[in-house]
Amino acid sequence: MTRTTYQFENGVLVPRRKLLTSALAAGAGALLGFPAIAVGKNSLKGVTLNTSLYSSPYSKLIRPWIADFEDATGAKVNFDTPGFPVYNQRADLELSTKGSAFDAVNVTFIYSSRWINSGWLTPLDEYIADPNKTPANYDAKDFLEGTLAPERGTDGKLYGIPWQAEVTIAAASRFDALKQAGFAFPQTTQELEQVSKALNRKEGAAGFVTDNHYGWTFVPFLQAFGGDVFRKAPDDLFPTLDTPQAIAAAEYFARLLRESGPDGVVSYNPDQALQSIKSGKSHLSVQGQINLSQLADKSSSKVASTAAWGLVPKGPAGRFPGAAVHGWGIPVGSKNKDAAWQFIRWATSKEILQRAVAAGYGSPTRRSDIDSTVYRERQRANGYDIASLTTESIALSAKQGHMKYRTVAVYPQVDQQLNKAIELIVTNQKTPEQAMKQAQAASIAELRRAGVSI
């Protein structure tokens, strides 16, 4: 199989064959949008870049395109993409030792505060401001401000370039079955439970599925019931996991999983939860839109023609979609910082992100992509506008500020407690009250241990 190589021509990615036959070819001195004075053909020859993201649609999309970057710069890029939890553990360890194993890494949302404010990442402002390293057509201002905010440290500097803005949405795999049973798409937590129960075990599918990272999937429900993780993050980090609202939310959520989830749902990781709904073995789900938008993919989804999408259900206190941003960052220990920046700039350039969006990427971070016709069209399926659900969720998150809990340095410890608490309730090892009180006590202990004064 021959591989088409690409070059950028006036900011547009053009297949090389076309370029060679084009009259414009003579003027195509810039490669990948690099200014000739900074980076040219083989300017990074001999450099090996070790880069890592967790496995995601974006990483799968750019993997084959990295060859273009290598061809243009002469660099060799090792691109490591383990699963989400494995990536985080590996990166956390590597960054904390300030090692040089990686030159460019994912700045994971949940760890962003910890990694940035511990001084484990390199500030990127100087790279962006230097015209020799970043040409004007990179247009850093094109990134949504909401996606840049979590990438900034307490010093106001930028430590990551966002490549993914993910929000939680809801989806139904068999909307036809749902309508047949006389239901509309569930808009509230009450309706979600009602529909899940009614459809459970119908058509050989469970009523509701979500993944067992409850520190991510449960929190929209916790907040919808009027609860929260902390009293007022990031200023007041006293945990609030044992309030009546939090206990009610945990009871509701665990009941939803226990009574309407597939057998063994507490052992479902994100991939399993996604597979379950893509194969039509679960009716309803609340997950990240990066996953649920894949229901529309005819090549891998059995429910592409029957799927429906909506916002996360509204609870007594309102609607609180989860939102997460992931970015590219440079570890402080990297020995190839300049080359790493060139790679990040390439991987988050307008051209590459446009190309990803054209290929179906559903979580862009650039305003130009979100507003583009290509994105809007690609994110439309069965009459549903998934892009609108995404932007509406991002807007809600920005307006309500309810995601602040997630970017405090000690959230990973509390996240663990939430995971355990929900598992304990679903499997009837503890009552909601017992489990949430235990999570509260453990979280307080962990926060104090981490030096947080509460």
Partner 1 sequence: MPPAATAALPSIQALPTSGGMVPSRTTPAPKLTKQWQRESARSYGLGLAPALVVLGGITLLPLLTLITVSLTPLSLTNPEGTFHFNQPLGNYAQLLEDERFVHSLWVQFKLSTVGVVLQLLIGLSLALLLNTGSRVASGVRTLFLIPMVLPPIVVALIWKILYTPEISPMHALLEHWGLPVRSLIANPDTALWAIVAADVWQWFPFTMLMVLANLQMVPRDPLDAARIDGANRWQVFRYIVFPFLQRTLVVCALFRLIDSFKAFPLLYVLTNGGPGTVTEVTNFYGFIQAFNFSYWGYGSAIAVVMLVIIFALCALVSYLGRNAGERHAR
- Per CB under 8 A, which region of 307-315, 355-363, 373-381, 443-451 contacts partner 1? 443-451
Smallest gap from residue 286 Cβ to partner 1 (A): 18
Q: Which residue's CB is nearer to partner 1, number 75 or number 418?
A: 418
By the rule CB under 8 A, 263 interacts with partner 1: yes
Q: Which residue's CB is nearer to partner 1, number 177 or number 359?
A: 177
Element (H, E) at 107: strand 104-107
Smallest gap from residue 427 Cβ to partner 1 (A): 4
Q: Which residue's CB is nearer to partner 1, number 254 or number 352?
A: 254
Pair 208, 262: CB distance under 8 Å: no
Smallest gap from residue 343 Cβ to partner 1 (A): 26
By the rule CB under 8 A, 408 interacts with partner 1: no
- The DSSP code for 263 is T
Q: Residue 393 corresponds to which amino acid?
A: S
Task: Please give the Cα distance from 144 to 356 (Å, whole number).
Answer: 17
Alpha helices in 200-347 (DSSP H): 214-217, 219-224, 244-260, 270-278, 289-292, 337-347
One of 168, 412, 418, 447 touching partner 1 (CB under 8 A):
412
What SS3 state is found at 230? Answer: strand
Q: Which residue's CB is nearer to partner 1, number 27 or number 85?
A: 85
Interface with partner 1: number of residues (CB under 8 A): 34
- Give the CA distances from residue 175 to residues 270, 304, 305, 384, in Å, rounded to whole numbers and listed in that order: 22, 11, 9, 12
Count other C-beta atoms under 10 Å from residue 132's C-beta.
10
Task: Please give the Cα distance from 347 to 65 (Å, whole number).
Answer: 9
Smallest gap from residue 419 Cβ to partner 1 (A): 8
Q: Which residue's CB is nearer to partner 1, number 5 or number 89?
A: 89
- Per CB under 8 A, which region of 2-10, 157-165, 182-190, 265-273 contacts partner 1? 265-273
Count other C-beta atoms under 10 Å from residue 363's C-beta.
27
Smallest gap from residue 266 Cβ to partner 1 (A): 5
- Give the CA distances from residue 312 to residues 123, 127, 201, in Å, rounded to whole numbers and listed in that order: 35, 38, 23
Q: Is the dihedral of CA 347, 350, 354, 357 positive or negative?
A: positive
By the rule CB under 8 A, 262 interacts with partner 1: yes
- DSSP calls for 364-393: --BHHHHT-HHHHHHTEETTEEHHHHHHHH
- Per CB under 8 A, which region of 1-9, 86-94, 100-108, 247-255 contacts partner 1? 86-94
Per-residue binding string, partner 1, 104-143, x by CB under 8 A, is ----------x---x-------------------------
By the rule CB under 8 A, 42 interacts with partner 1: no
Smallest gap from residue 95 Cβ to partner 1 (A): 9
**Residues engaged in binding partner 1 (CB under 8 A):** 89, 92-93, 96-97, 114, 118, 212, 262-267, 272, 276, 281, 409, 412-413, 416, 419-420, 423-424, 426-430, 446, 449-451
